[in-house]
Structure 1
C-alpha cells in the first residue's frame, strides 16, 4: 500500500530531480513506521475458510451492504449531491469503506468474503490505485482491517447476483429528517446537554453518540427501541409515523429528554397516562384521512430534501419554503386538489406535534386561494337517474329467479330510494335490513358524512309497484339464499342452472357494480358516459325535491351535513324552475 509514493515518483521531471513528498506519502511512511513490526510476518499455515460473507453495492442515490445470516447486519447511507456526481468506481469503493467501517464491530477477528459487482474496486482494494482520491480510501480500508484483525478477501460477482445489495442501496429513507443546529442548541440551553440522539443518521446527528435505522460509519447502535432510554438525557427527533411508539417507550423507560420537566412535574396518576396521547391524537382524523395526510407530508419532505433544504427545515417548516412548495404543485397539478391536500397535511402534522404551522401565515393561505382560482375548472355533473329510465331497465331485465339481473335491479332501486352512495351499497350486510309490513329499515353503519361513526337508519316504504325496493329485495334475498351475515350485493358464480352466490363472503367490487350499471342502462339513455352510480343518489334527491318533499326531510334521508352539499345533488325540473317567475304576479 505505497501507491501515494508511486504517484509522487511519477510526477518527477527526471530520475535526477528531487521529489517533494505529498501529505499522503508522508502519512503512508508514518503508518508503515508505526505498524511494520506488527504486520511483518505471516503464519506458515493460514486457513482460507471465510467466517463472514458481505455483499455491498452503490447506486446513484446511496450505498448499502449486508452481512449474510446476520439479522442486524445491514448498513445504508445516502450520497450528498457532490458524492452522487462521482464516478461509479468511486461510489462502489466508498460503499465498501463505509459499510466496513459501519459494521467492523461485527466483522472484527474474522476472515471476510466480500462481494462487489465492480471489477475496479476489487483491484483497488487489493493493490491500491494511482488516483489519489481512490488510493486514500484503499488505504483507509487497509487500516481498518489491520487494526481490527479483519482479513478481507474481496471478489467480483455479476450484477444479477448482487440484487439484494442493489435494492438496499436504492432505498430513499424519507423519514430520515432532523432539526437544525440552531434549534438543537436552543433546546440544549433550555433543557440541558444531550447525551444521545436516539433517532438520527450520519448526516443529521446532533450528538456524537446516536442511534440510526441502519448501521452508519459513526452510529453507536441501530433500532433505538432495543435500548434502554432511562440512563441518558436524549434528543428525540423520530419519524412522524412512530411518534406514538416513542412516547409510549419514553413513559415505560422513564426516559429523560426535552419534555422531561413537563412529564416529571405531573402527578404520578397523570404521568402514567401520557402514553395514551399518541393513539388519541391519531384518532383525531379518520384512518383514511390520516393516511392521506401522512402521504402528503412525506411528499413535502421529499421535495424539501431534493431542493437543498436541510432535514431541520421540514418540521417545523417555515412559511416561505412552504409557499414555494405549493407554487411548484400549482405548476404541475391539473386541479387544486393536490395543493389543498398538501396544505392540510402540513397543518395537521404541525398541529399534532405542537409546533406553529406555516399554514397560519397569510403568505401560504394566499397561495392556497390562488391555487383554487388558477386551477379552477368548470364542474360537469353527471345526469340524474329518473323513474322512467329505471322502469324501462326493469321491464327489460326482470325475470323470475334471474339472480344476476335482480342484483343490479335491487342495487339501482335501493340506491335511488335510499339516496345511497356506491360504497354504502357495497357495505350493506343482510343483517342491516329489517323488514316491516309497510316499510324497510336499513342501517348504514359507516358513511362518508358520518363523521363520528354513529350510524344512521333509513326508512324505505313499500310502494306496491313493480319498482318497490322492499319487494324486489325480498325476492333477491330469497333467490340468492342469503344468510344474515352475507353481504347483500355479494359475488355470484354462473352454474348450469343460472347463478348462485359464492362461498367466500365478499361484496362485489366497485368496478363490477359500475360495469353492470352501464350494461343495464346503456339501451335506455342516449349517452351512458353521462351517467354513473352517483346518478342514483342524485336522481332520488331530485325526485324528492321536485315532488315537494321538505328540505329538512330529504336532507336527513340523504345524510347531508350542509345545505350546500345537499343542493349540489338536486336538479329541479322545468316546472319547478318556472314556478319562481310565475309566482311573482307579473
Structure 2
C-alpha cells in the first residue's frame, strides 16, 4: 500500500481546482488534469512499496548468506544489520519528506535495542545464561504481566538441559587405556611372538584421573615458553616444537652409517653413548665419531663431550656404572631430592599440592634406577594429590600421616635402595602358563613336564586376573622339585598379573594369590595394600597370616638366602618372635659355622625342632610369649627377655592374676615363656620355685 490513500488524492491542497468564477462546469481539460495527477501519485506509491519490498528481500538474502561459528555472533550481527537498514530507511524517508514513516522506523529500532538489552540482563543474572534466554524467547504464550514467572521458568529449564548435556558428554568421552609402568626390568609375555614387551619407564598407572585427548587450539598456552597455539608437552628442549624432530632426522643417517660399520652407538636428541669391548677399540671409534661429526658440520661441546673411554658416566640423568653393570642415581640428584623433602617437611602443616606433585614426579623419574618401589611408596601421596581442587591449593599433612610416612621413607632410604641392573640375567628355566574360565595349565620349556587343573565352581567365577595368578602359583607348586634353587622366568599373556606380582595389589584377594600362608614382612601403615589382611578384626583373610614382622631398615628388606632374616627364603619364615628366639643362646653359634653345607644343616635345624610339636601348639606358645615381650617393652628397666630375670617373670604372672578373667591365660603364659627359654637354650626363669608356686596356685584354683 502507498502512504497516500487513493480516496484522498482529490482533497490534496496542491491539486489545482478550477475556480467557480471562471465556469460552473468542469471542462475536459480539467478532468484530464485531475486524472493525470491521480494516476501519477498512485504510481508513485506503488513504486515506493515495490522498492521497500525489494529492500526487505535483499536484506533477508544477505542474512542467509552470512555464516558464523557461534550462534551468539550471528544473532548480534543480524541485529546490527537490521539497525543499519532502519537508519538508511529513515534517512531516505526524511529526504523524500516522509517524516511519519521515518519516526516509525526509528521507534522500531529503539524497541529492538531495548529488547536486546533486556535479554543481556537476563543472561547475566540467571544461572543458565543464554540457555535461559533461548527458553524465555520460545515461551510466547504468557502475558506481559507474567514476565517474571516466564524468566524463572526459563532459567529452570535451561539449568536442567545444561546438566543433561554435561552428563551425556561425560558418558561419550573416549578414555585412553591405562598405561603400565615399571623399570627396565619390567617384562611381560607377548602373545604374538612369545617374547618380552618392554614397559616405558616414565609412565605411571592409576596416578592420575582419566585423560582425554584433543587437538591443540590457538588459545592454548604453553607453560614452558609462554606462547600460544601448543602445549608444554609438545615443546622440545631446542626452542622450537619441530626442531627436535628435524634434528633427529638429520642425525639418523650418521647413526645408520656408524652402526653399519659395527659401532655400538645410541643417540637421544643431541646426547650420544657409544660402547666397545676394549679400551683400544673404544678410543678408535671415539676418534672416528668425533671426526665424522665435525666433517658433517656439527660443533661438539668441549665441556660436555667425553672422548676418552670411561666405565662410569652420567647420561640422561642417570649414572651408568659399567663396572658393576648397574644404573644408579647421581649424587647431585639425590641431594636435590633430599633438599626438596626438607622443604616439604619444614612446611608440614601447609604444603602446596604443586610441591607434592613435584616430589612424586621426581620419585617416579627414579624408576629406571631403583625399580617398582617408586610406585609402591607413592600411593598415599598420589591419593592426597588426587583430592586437589586447584594446583595452588594448600594441604595439611597432619591429616595424612601415611603420606608423611612415605616421605620419611624416601628421605631415610634413598641412599641405600638397590640399583637396577643394566643387563637382565638369563634364567635357567622358562615356564609358560595360561588360564581360561574352565581351567589352567602350564608347561616347562625344554622338558615334558605339564601341569593342568580344572577350576571349581567358586574359582570359575573369579576374575581373569585372579585365575592367571593362580595358574602361575599352581604351576610353580607342581614343578617345585625341578625348579628348586634355580632362576625361573614366567611367561603369561595377562599384563595385570605381571604388575600385581611385581608391585602388589590393593585388592586383598589378589594380594593373597601372590603368596602362600606364612609371615608378612610389612611396613606398618595403612597405605600398605595388605592392610585388610592383618589389622582388620574378623577378617576373612586372617587365616593367611601366621605372624607379622615390621621392618624399619631398608637394607634388610632384600636380604637373599635361606636364613631367619630373609624375606624370600626356601624354608618357613618364623616371624619376629621366633626370629628373636633363634638368634640367642644356642642359636647364636651360627656365626662359627663357615662351610655352606653345615650352614644349610644348621638353618634347617630350627624347622626340625619346631615340627616336633603340633603347629597349633607352636603358634599358641609363640603368641603368649609375644604378649610377654610386649609387656616388657613398657618398662625400660627390663633390658633382656631371653633370658629374662625370674623377678620380672613373676611380676608378669602376678599382673595376669590380677587382670586375667580365666586361669587358662596364666597357665598358657607360664608355659609359653618356659617353652621360649628352653627353645633358645638359655637359663629358664620358669624353673624357679617362685614361678612354680604361681603355676601350682592356678592348678589348685582350677581343681577347686
TM-score range relative to shorter protein: under 0.3
Question: Rg larger in 1 or in 2?
Answer: 2
Q: TM-score, normalised by structure 2?
A: 0.23
Higher relative contact order (CA 8 A, sep 6+): 1
Q: TM-score, normalised by structure 1?
A: 0.27
